[in-house]
Structure formats: structure tokens, C-alpha cells
Amino acid sequence: MKMLIAVDFSPIGREVAHSGYCLAQKSGMDVTFFHCAPQASRFLEGYDIKAFLSPTSKTEQQKIKEMAIQSLHKVMEDVIAEHGKTPGTDVDEYVTVGDAGEEIIKYAKENDFDLIVIGYKSYSKLEHILVGSTASKVARYAPCSVLIYRPGKNISSLNMYLDSKR
């Protein structure tokens, strides 16, 4: 079984990474830490995008993706350092660029995930106002079950449930 953990580098996103990984360890699932970097031209939809996309902007977008790859790798390393690596469990990471909700759903479909773990709110209120709730979109359209993480709500009851099924 496979779990996708959506990470957005916010404090909540880091909690999602830790909690999702612990859940994956208890349930014996393989894990992919996933991040979607924002696409700079996304806010210009409806306009002639070609007029705004220069070689410089493409280079900047690549730099953003490279920074996201480094940041996601650091989160993954921190999570594994704190919780250890379970033998026989595959841990992977994936970074893409675009609309986070759409990219999570697409990647989950293409790679046959069984569970997506995602935070209940995004990093910024502005993003929520402009593009809507990623968690809502994923919960509605994901091809698999979705666990929406809320800070301060521990998942020990879910862990106890999983332990009882073993």
C-alpha cells in the first residue's frame, strides 16, 4: 500500500509530514513526500501568458523548483531522523510545479496511491482566497481516501485502530 504525504513547508505542513510518516510506519505503507511549487504564471490565467514568460521567468521558475526539491528533501530527512526508517518501507519524494490540488490528484491517479495525507489549510491566507482550498479539492476529487490533518488533534485513535487490525 502507498501513502502520499502533501507537504507545503508551513508549520502545519511539517506536522503533516511527521504525523503522516508515523501513520505509514504503523500501517506498513510506502511513503512519497510530495510538494507542488506554485507556478508564477498561474495568477495570470486568462491573459496572453506568452507575453509574460521570458527566458528569465522560466529560469526563475526552475530556481523555485530546485529550492522546493532541497526543502522537501530536508523535511524528509528530518522526519526520518526523528522517527527512523522502517525496514521494507520505501520512502520517496516528488516535486512538481502547478496548482497543488490538481497536481496531487493527478500524481495520486498516475501512481495508484491508497491514501493521501494533507493539511487542513494552506501556508497563506492569500493563497486560500485566490485559489481555494487545496484540501477541499483533493478531498472531493482524489482517486483514493484522504486524511485531512488538523493540528492539535493527535492521530493516536487512528493508530490504535490500525494496531487492532493487525
What pLDDT was estimated at residue 78? 96
**Cα–Cα distance, 142 to 12 (Å, whole number):** 21
What pLDDT was estimated at residue 117? 96
pLDDT digits (tens, 9 = 90+) for 25-35: 999 999 999 99
Q: Which of helix, strand or coil describes residue 43?
A: helix
pLDDT bracket for residue 36 (50, 70, 90): very high
**For residues 10-39, average pLDDT:** 92
pLDDT digits (tens, 9 = 90+) for 56-103: 567 888 888 999 999 999 999 999 999 999 888 899 999 999 999 999
Kindly tell me if the per-residue pLDDT of 161 is higher than 80.
no
How crowded is residue 70: how many other Cβ atoms within 10 Å of its Cβ?
Answer: 11
Kindly tell me if the per-residue pLDDT of 3 is higher than 80.
yes
Kindly tell me if the per-residue pLDDT of 134 is higher than 60.
yes
What pLDDT was estimated at residue 113? 97
This prediction has a pTM of: 0.81
Say if residue 80 is exposed, middle or buried (CB neighbours under 10 Å; 0-12, 13-18, 19+): middle
